[in-house]
Amino acid sequence: MAQEDVFKKLVAHCKEYGFVFQSSEIYDGLGAVYDYGQNGVELKNNIKKYWWDSMVLLHENVVGIDSAIFMHPTIWKASGHVDAFNDPLIDNKDSKKRYRADVLIEEQLAKYEDKIEKEVEKAKKRFGESFDEKQFRETNGRVLEVQAKWDELQARFVKALNDSNLDELKQIIIDQEIVCPVSGTRNWTDVRQFNLMFSTEMGSTADGALKIYLRPETAQGIFVNYLNVQKTGRMKIPFGIAQIGKAFRNEIVARQFIFRMREFEQMELQFFVRPGSELEWFQKWKQTRMNWHQALGFGKENYRFHEHDKLAHYANAAVDIEYRFPFGFKEVEGIHSRTDFDLSQHQEYSGKKITYFDPELNESYVPFVVETSIGVDRMFLQIMAATYAEEEVVSEDGKKDMRVVLRIPAPLAPVKLAVFPLMKKDGLAEKAREIIDDLKFDFNCQYDEKDSIGKRYRRHDAIGTPFCVTVDHITLEDNTVTLRYRDTMLQDRIVISDLRSLIAGEVSMKKLFAQL
Ligand code: GAP
């Protein structure tokens, strides 16, 4: 199936099974804003728990906070967001559609990459086992020609970004003959900067109202609480502060479902270190975070690091962790070495001293910071994309059937156990409820008595429930049930009293942590 179709199916599945809904849908929706449904919120909470526990429980020098979304407006002046949190936008005069100029150019680069990959794939098929991919990439004329175009464009693009040269960005779009995907024309406006922050007013009187911003990242809430936490927690450098919370960005191009939203959630860690040690810590966190992703078992080949071509105004090193989505490799998480930029700026703008006295060095300094920043929603989309599968199965009556299954790692699955009475009568329903009552404080359980057992399996496969239990007449005699495993569809007859420990071992976060 084409990757575009897979993605369309995924979006439809998210709605049909109560994972994600368009916000304000009955009013025709609100662009790039989404609500999470009954299964979505469970998955989202589990993602957050996986992250929070891996940061705060597993690192004795990391603590968490929950800062307010509204903050003093000077914070955003100090952080540089008022002046520099911009994206370069360009409009097509015919379609009146707006685009990010940098994204149009990135897509052009991706087209060259695709061309190269297609050449490699063709050659692979042609030469079979004897194919030497490295040699082919280094010597094939067609590949070298496209690679040279890529190199030239990339170099020009990076220079334009680093010089903030908007005219050059437009010139690149013209020279590359990039057309608007809607009108198909090259009738472009000039490139302009567009600030991504939402603002509102706080205060009741028109005169006294204060212009404030909805935070575009949670990180600043950590920086301005650095002193509070360091002092009250008696934290010694190196130490970290973790936070999960909403962030808001007025994205110019909001496409690809929950990949780029205007209201989203971040999980961020600011790790405070001695000046001069930041690049070593940057390397450590880079690897720690990659391990966290790969522990989910979605295939190492589907992740890669992407070094930043243009560093943000606060960073001296930056890398993204990218995942292979159905629409290509895209950023899920950013790791930045933010130097002492933020704390120094807040020191200057607030007039408060923000330093750390290092007893080992017997000196005070402004700490340097390594940040890890991941979007909950992007992580959610990654999990849905990685685990969605359509499979041919043989149904109970021997007929071929299709099932849609979400192979979500059991610790993250919205529902852990579904319990089905074979039929409602003969006390089977009561027995099924008894099992749920006994286990409902340990894991998220669901009772289901409607339709055939096969249909009930399908419903739970579609939301990723790892275990289903069927209560039948034999259960009433010997307290055993049929336990059915989502991934293998195999069934076991087991004693009810063994259910708790068997399921607990599989759904515990420890299962994931053991691989970190
Ligand atoms: N504090 C650093 C920071 O905010 P970022 O690279 O702009 O860095 C970090 O954002 C992460 O937040 C991204 O890797 C992505 O997962 C998520 N994110 C950013 N913008 C987003 C958006 N519009 N919608 C959904 N997730 C977003």
Give per-residue pLDDT as tens, 128-146. Answer: 888 899 999 999 999 999 9
DSSP bridge partners of 242: 64, 269
* Rg of the Cα atoms in the chain: 26
CA distance linking residue 424 with residue 449, whole number of Å: 7
Q: Where in the chain is the domain with CATH 3.30.930.10?
A: 1-85+196-396
pLDDT score of 130: 87
Average pLDDT over residues 37-48: 98
Tokens 């020009």 sit on residue: 156
pLDDT score of 438: 97
pLDDT score of 209: 82
289 CA to centre of ligand 1 in angstroms:
15
Residue 513 has pLDDT above 90, yes or no: yes
- State how far the alpha carbon of 295 is from the alpha carbons of 94, 411, 513, 515, in Å: 48, 12, 8, 6
Residue 260 CA: nearest ligand 1 atom is 24
- For the record, the structure tokens of 195 come out as 């600030």
CA distance linking residue 139 with residue 120, whole number of Å: 12
pLDDT score of 205: 66
312 CA to centre of ligand 1 in angstroms:
13
- For the record, the structure tokens of 139 come out as 């010597």
Residue 411 has pLDDT above 90, yes or no: yes
Q: Where in the chain is the domain with CATH 3.40.50.800?
A: 409-513
pLDDT-derived band at 255 (thresholds 50, 70, 90) equals confident
Query: Domain spanning 409-513: which CATH class is it, in words?
Result: alpha beta
Neighbours of 154 (CB within 10 A): 15
The residue with greater pLDDT, 513 or 327, is 513
> Does CATH place domain 1-85+196-396 in 3.30.930.10?
yes
Of the candidates 502, 264, 276, 233, which has an alpha carbon nearest to the alpha carbon of residue 367?
276
Average pLDDT over residues 234-263: 94
CA distance linking residue 85 with residue 251, whole number of Å: 11
In this prediction the pTM is 0.91
CA distance linking residue 295 with residue 47, whole number of Å: 13
Q: Say if ligand 1 is within 6 A of residue 249 CB.
A: yes
- Over the stretch 284-310, which tens digit does the pLDDT of each residue have? 999 999 999 999 999 999 999 999 877
Residue to substitute in 86, 338, 373, 377 for testing ligand 1 pocket (most ligand atoms within 8 angstroms of CB) = 373
- Over the stretch 481-499, which tens digit does the pLDDT of each residue have? 999 999 999 999 999 999 9
Exposed/middle/buried for residue 508 (C-beta within 10 Å: 0-12, 13-18, 19+): middle
pLDDT score of 394: 84
Neighbours of 29 (CB within 10 A): 13
CA distance linking residue 335 with residue 371, whole number of Å: 6
pLDDT-derived band at 452 (thresholds 50, 70, 90) equals very high
Residue to substitute in 81, 307, 378 for testing ligand 1 pocket (most ligand atoms within 8 angstroms of CB) = 378
CA distance linking residue 513 with residue 23, whole number of Å: 34
Residue 266 has pLDDT above 90, yes or no: yes
Q: Where in the chain is the domain with CATH 3.30.40.230?
A: 86-193
pLDDT score of 206: 65
Average pLDDT over residues 410-435: 97
pLDDT score of 2: 72
> Does CATH place domain 86-193 in 3.40.50.300?
no
Tokens 């990654």 sit on residue: 382
Residue to substitute in 220, 243, 264 for testing ligand 1 pocket (most ligand atoms within 8 angstroms of CB) = 264
pLDDT score of 313: 72
- State how far the alpha carbon of 12 is from the alpha carbons of 20, 22, 462, in Å: 9, 11, 12
The pLDDT mean for the chain works out to: 95
